[in-house]
Amino acid sequence: MRFDLTPLYRSTVGFDRLASILDQVTTADAAQSTYPPYNIEKTGENAWRITIAVAGFAEDELSIESREGLLVISGRKAETEEKDAGAFLHRGIATRAFERRFQLADHVRAQSATVENGLLHVELVREVPEALKPRRIAIGKADAGLVEAKAA
């Protein structure tokens, strides 16, 4: 189902990113979004983990890049292995190139990544700058100085 977001672009200021995210979600290709499979889990109040199945990929064949609120994870097999692979009777392990994109919320960044048992784990944390954190402001008493009017 396709939604026309043109009225949203005309009547809002500063929400361009939200409108483009909604537009991307409604036009996503279902076939592309199934490989490789992945999980997103919440590991803490301000922490998440993205786990992607990358069986058959070495660490140097994987790439993780974070830019402008977008996390891009890609994998590309080395060409030399494909040539030396030999003849397969059955090939069920997909090692085709992939690129996964995840839209990150404000102040969320990738902290670390590890590969373990064919799974790529990317740890994400939200770090809100001190200037944007809520703070309590003390209420003091004003000096109520009275001004006496002089009689003339």
What's the pLDDT at 116?
94
Contact indicator for 124, 108 with CB cutoff of 8 Å: yes
pLDDT tens digits, 112-123 = 999 999 999 999
Indicate if the pLDDT at residue 146 is higher than 60: no
Local structure of residue 33 (DSSP, 8 states): G
What's the pLDDT at 80?
59
- In Å, how far are 9, 70, 133 from 3, measured between CA atoms? 13, 23, 36
What's the pLDDT at 105?
87
* Cis peptide bond upstream of 36, omega within 30: yes
The candidate with the shortest Cα–Cα distance to 40, out of 86, 102, 84, is 102
Supply φ then ψ for residue 4, to 5 degrees. -95, 115
pLDDT (average), residues 123-150: 78
The DSSP element (H or E) to which 27 belongs, if any, is none
What's the pLDDT at 29?
53
What's the pLDDT at 74?
95
